[in-house]
Amino acid sequence: MGPGNWLAFALLMFAIGYLATLGVTKARFRVVHCVLAGVFVAHMLVIVVDTREDPTNHNLLPFEFLFLWFAALPGYLGAKIGQWMERSKRTS
């Protein structure tokens, strides 16, 4: 993936983290955890298909998941911003 794709993924995670947690009170970060788990499962399927074609693909396998996790961090920020906005609505 190129830098533009990583940025698009990070922005998408931020939007999902914010929009999917609107109205959620207790399990706000579980939503983002589940989205990230889904991304990991999808990437594992990509790895299985790619390694069938060429076993030398994904030589840096653990780092791929680390990069995905790092790029998904804006999702947690979006969820936190949603939480702050909900609290400010309640106090106003």
Mean pLDDT score, 4-14: 92
> DSSP character for 27?
S
- 33 close to 13: Cβ distance less than 8 angstroms: no
Reply yes or no on whether the pLDDT at 6 is more than 70: yes
Mean pLDDT score, 10-28: 89
Distance CA 25, CA 89 (A): 13
State the pLDDT at residue 24. Answer: 81
State the pLDDT at residue 4. Answer: 85
Query: pLDDT-based confidence at 74, cuts 50/70/90?
Result: very high
